[in-house]
Amino acid sequence: MLTKHSENQLFHTFDETLRPQIEELLSLGKSAGADLIEIFLEKTDNISLLAEQDDISNVSPSFGIGAGIRVFLGKKDGFVSTNDLSKAGLLFALSQALGMLGLEIATQNKHNFEGLDSLKDYGIKKKNWLKDSPDINESTIKLLDSTKLLSSKNKNLEVRRASYSRSWQEVVIAATDGVFARDIRLHQTVGMNVIAIKDKNRSTSARRYGSSGNPNDLRNWDINKSAIELNESAEQMLNAEYVEAGQMPVVLANKFGGVIFHEACGHLLETTQLERGTSPFHDKVNKKIANTAVCAVDEGLSNYAFGSLSMDDEGMEPQNTLLIENGILKQFISDRAGALRTGHPRTGSGRRQNFSFAAASRMRNTYIKQGTYSPDKLIESIDKGLYCKSMGGGSVGPTGQFNFSVEEGYLIKNGKLDKPVKGATLIGEAKEILPRISMCANDLDLAAGFCGSVSGSINVTVGQPHIKVDSITVGGR
Can you spell out the DSSP letters for 236-305?
Answer: HHHTPEEPPPEEEEEEE-SGGGGHHHHHHTGGGGBHHHHHHT--TTTT-TTSB-S-TT--EEEES-STT-
pLDDT of amino acid 154 = 82
Residue 449 has pLDDT above 60, yes or no: yes
CA distance 83 to 42: 9
**Mean predicted confidence (pLDDT) in 329-346:** 97
pLDDT at 2: 40
Could you give the CA distance from residue 72 to residue 98 in angstroms, rounded to a whole number?
Answer: 9
pLDDT over threshold 70, residue 158: yes
DSSP strands (E only) in 128-263: 157-175, 180-198, 201-212, 241-242, 246-252
Residue among 201, 10, 35 nearest 103 (CA): 35
Closest to 307 measured CA to CA, from 169, 460, 183: 460
297-319 pLDDT, tens digit per residue, is 999 999 999 999 999 999 999 99
Provide, rounded to the nearest whole percent, the portion of the chain with pLDDT above 90.
Answer: 90
Burial class (CB in 10 A: 0-12, 13-18, 19+), 403: middle
Res 10: pLDDT: 52
| 177: helix, strand or coil | coil
* CB-based contact 312:349 (threshold 8 Å): yes
Q: pLDDT value at position 11? A: 64
pLDDT of residue 53: 95
- Residue 388: exposure state from Cβ atoms within 10 A (0-12, 13-18, ≥19): buried
The per-residue pLDDT for range 168-212, each reduced to its tens digit, is 999 999 999 999 999 999 999 999 999 999 988 999 999 999 999
Task: Please answer whether residues 422 and 240 qualify as being in contact, where contact means their C-beta atoms are separated by less than 8 angstroms.
Answer: yes
State the pLDDT confidence band at 236, using cuts at 50, 70 and 90: very high
Helices (H) and strands (E) in the chain, counts: 11, 23
Mean pLDDT across 312-331: 97
Query: Quick one: which of 1, 22, 336, 67 has its CA closest to 176?
Result: 22
Residue type, 182: R
Q: Return the bridge partners of 463, or none.
A: 367, 446
Mean pLDDT to the nearest integer, 369-398: 95
Residues 37-64 have a mean pLDDT of 97
Helix (H) or strand (E) holding 125: none
424 pLDDT exceeds 50? yes
Q: How far is CA 347 from CA 116, 314, 409, 412, in A?
A: 22, 11, 37, 41
pLDDT class of 223 with cuts at 50, 70, 90: very high
Mean pLDDT of 317-345: 97
Of the listed ranges 69-78, 154-163, 441-450, the least confidently predicted one is 154-163
Are 441 and 371 within 8 A, CB to CB? yes
Q: How many residues does the chain have?
A: 477
Domain ranges of the chain: 126-171+183-239, 246-475
191-219 in b/e form (b: 16+ CB < 10 A) is: bbbbbbeeeeeebbbbbbbbbbbbbebbe
- Amino acid (1-letter code) at residue 113: F
What integer is the mean pLDDT of 344-352? Answer: 97
Three-state SS at 181: strand
Mean of per-residue pLDDT scores for the chain: 94
Q: Is 369 helix (H, G, I), strand (E, B) or coil?
A: coil
